[in-house]
Structure 1
């Protein structure tokens, strides 16, 4: 039950920081688990602690588990942050694999609120226009064809849920400034 101790520790620190600063704080409690049942236990416990957000590694957890968790979070007032652990094994292979654009479309249909999209500089480096293209796929209701961004046909997502992007903290100021210039 180490996850339970970790959740309690993080919730205590979160509420202490909120009390000291008067600011809203959050921490992504990782609900990813070996089974869907265990994942749901973690999400329920996070909700009972009153935290605002949980995290799920959608590739290691699976799309069906992610959809179940997305529905639970939506019904219970939790935000669902999507992490993409293991994605590089799938989408960074030049001669085989699945492009992240395809994974992004499947993820959008699966559900969530916020994704760790990576950046175009540093460790998570990717091609600028292609990264902008899959971020648009996750965020916008209507995407125009733009081959330079990896969008090969116009797509209308109508009311399918969308994501806001997020990223990890930066160890180098140059990366943060480059990302700020790109995303605003």
Structure 2
């Protein structure tokens, strides 16, 4: 999958679409992350996009990412979630996964 880079991400609009479900994508990508980490002996990561229609679903997706061994999650602000959701996700991640990197990506400002 990759050996030279440390972190990669999908386009922020890739979330869970009929032709590409988030859970399947998380499993596929984390398999590649783990293989690259094993081959290089380095920490590798993929910005798993946990953006969803409700906070509860975002929490479930972040839990699943952590269970798979992910060291980073991301979520898209502006187009999908508002300021309160941004703060809620930040507080939840800090409380539940203080060792995980949380990246929030703004979209729609091009």
For normalisation by structure 2, the TM-score amounts to 0.73
More strand by share: 2
Alignment of 1:5-24 (within 5 A): 5-24=24-43
The answer on 1:82 being equivalent to 2:104 is yes
C-alpha separation in 1, matches of 2:109 and 2:82: 12
1:44 CA drift (Å) = 1.0
C-alpha separation in 2, matches of 1:44 and 1:63: 21
Structure 2 segments unaligned to the other structure (5+ residues): 1-15
The answer on 1:29 being equivalent to 2:48 is yes
Alignment of 1:54-69 (within 5 A): 54-59=73-78, 60-69=80-89
More helix by share: 1
C-alpha separation in 2, matches of 1:26 and 1:62: 26
Please identify runs of 4+ aligned residues in structure 1 that moved more than 3 A: none
Aligned counterpart, 1:71: 91
Structure 1 segments unaligned to the other structure (5+ residues): 89-184
Aligned counterpart, 1:42: 61
1:87 CA drift (Å) = 2.7
Count of aligned pairs between the two proteins? 88
C-alpha separation in 2, matches of 1:47 and 1:65: 20
Higher relative contact order (CA 8 A, sep 6+): 2
Structure ID, larger Rg: 1
For normalisation by structure 1, the TM-score amounts to 0.45
C-alpha separation in 1, matches of 2:84 and 2:26: 24
Q: Any idea what SS the aligned residue of 1:61 has? A: coil
Q: Any idea what SS the aligned residue of 1:34 has? A: coil
